[in-house]
Each structure stands twice: as C-alpha cells, then as structure tokens.
Amino acid sequence: MQAINDYVIISEIKEGPKKVSGLILTDETDKDNRYKKASVISTGDQVEIIKNNDVIYYDKHAGHGIDYNGKLFTVIRSRDIVLVE
C-alpha cells in the first residue's frame, strides 16, 4: 500500500488512560484535545519531511478511514500534521 501526492497513510496509536492532577482521563473525557497520535505507514511522493514509521500528531477531524487487508487505516493530507516526534 503506497500513498500518492500529498496524502499520508497512518495508523492511530491508542494511548492508555492519563492522570492529570489526580484525575484519570480516558478517550471519552479527553474531548478537549484536538490532536491524535499516529504512526506513519506510507507517505506520498509530494511529502518531503515526514517519513515512514514517524510518530505524528494530526488534527482529529482530518482524513477518512480505509479498510485494507482487514486493518483500519486513516488517510490524511500532509497539511493536517501538526507535529513530528
């Protein structure tokens, strides 16, 4: 599976519950966080900085899901990536 143009194929990284000031935050309670963490599976030929296997943060409203070989991936545009670890 290979992304084209400025698209990036990612796999979301599910993080466990976090503790903030003694409170446990789950995915449902952390709705104020606008960005999600993911691992890059494939980058298009117009994407220069991001490489395969990079860990990124992207806008949670971006992209769409795609089922490939029984696994769910997300396809986003490179401009929706806000941070590379």
CATH number of the domain that 47 lies in? 2.30.33.40
In a domain, 76, yes or no: yes
In a domain, 14, yes or no: yes
In a domain, 32, yes or no: yes
pLDDT at 5: 96
pLDDT at 18: 67
- Report the alpha-carbon distance of residue 48 to residue 71 in Å, rounded: 26
In a domain, 51, yes or no: yes
In a domain, 1, yes or no: no
pLDDT at 39: 97
Q: Give the chain's domain count.
A: 1
Mean pLDDT (10-residue bins), the chain, 85 residues: 96 78 64 86 96 95 94 96 95
Three-class secondary structure assignment of the chain: CCCCCCEEEEEECCCCCEEECCEEECCCCCCCCCEEEEEEEEECCCCCCCCCCCEEEEECCCCEEEEECCEEEEEEEHHHEEEEC
pLDDT at 34: 85
pLDDT at 27: 58
pTM (predicted TM-score): 0.81
Tell me which residue range forms the domain holding 19.
7-84
In a domain, 2, yes or no: no
pLDDT at 33: 77
Provide the token pair at 77.
């545009």
